[in-house]
Structure 1
Amino acid sequence: MNIGEAAKFSGVSAKMIRYYEQIGLIPKAARSEAGYRHYSTPDAYSLRFIRRARDLGFSVEQIAELLVLWRDRDRASADVKAMALSHAAGLKTRIAELQAMVQTLEHLADHCHGDDRPECPILADLAEPTAAESRSQGPHRTPRFGADTPASSRNRGVR
Structure 2
Amino acid sequence: MTVFEPTPQARAAAERAAVLAEIARRRALFVSAGDGRELLCIADLLDTVAVSFYGEEPTVGGIPDGAWLALADAEETAADAPGTGFPPEFGQYVKRAVDGGPLWTPEPIILTGCHLAADDARLTAALGVLHGHLAAAATEEVAHALLEAVLSLCEKRAHLLRVVRG
TM range (shorter): under 0.3
Higher relative contact order (CA 8 A, sep 6+): 2
Which structure has more helix as a fraction of its residues? Answer: 2
TM-score by structure 1 length?
0.26
TM-score by structure 2 length?
0.25
**Is the radius of gyration larger for structure 1 or structure 2?**
1
